[in-house]
Amino acid sequence: MNAQSNHPSNDTTDPQFLGPEAGQQAGGETHTRSELDANGSELHRYFSVARGALISVRSNGVTLCRQVDDEWKVLSRKKGDVPLAQWVVNKQAALSELARWQLDVDELPSMQDLMAWDEDGICETPTGHRVEPDGIGPDGVPSWLRALRLI
């Protein structure tokens, strides 16, 4: 699903939501677990197919991104001229356009799991179905290797 085409306003620097006109990205700052908490509480967590990563939308207007075997990094920050309440409403509207399974992903598989699935020739999908590594489950959800853009 592409949330960027119907997003109501240009209020974030996250290109996942708004495309290139969104402005400057935050530059990949790395955050440890304690720094993750320092960015406010988590409002939403979802899996981004476009990025092949887990995304955390935080209460302070920061959006974090985490890929397999990596730390959370700042993906974007709310623009200063947009009220936080409006930013949250706009994020919720964009999230409503995602597939249900994307909203249900809380964690990513480990690199060891991914390598084992690739070696075995059988992979799980985020919804738990067993498929070929480049396959799609009966519910239309891609294998983890495919969703993470590893194949």
Please report the DSSP string for 49-112 in residue order. Answer: TTTTEEEEEETTSEEEEE-TT--EEEEEEB-TTS-HHHHHHHHHHHHTTS-HHHHH--SPPPHH
Q: How far is CA 3 from CA 15, 53, 68, 83, 94, in A?
A: 10, 16, 23, 21, 5
pLDDT digits (tens, 9 = 90+) for 102-146: 999 999 999 999 989 988 899 999 999 999 999 999 999 999 999
Query: pLDDT at position 35, please?
Result: 55
Q: What's the chain's average pLDDT?
A: 80
30-72 per-position pLDDT tens digit: 445 545 676 789 999 999 999 999 999 999 999 999 999 888 9
Task: Identify which of 90, 93, 64, 96 has the alpha carbon closest to the alpha carbon of residue 77.
Answer: 64
| R_g of the chain, CA atoms, integer Å | 16
| Joined tokens for residue 72 | 């959370």
Higher pLDDT, 102 or 9: 102
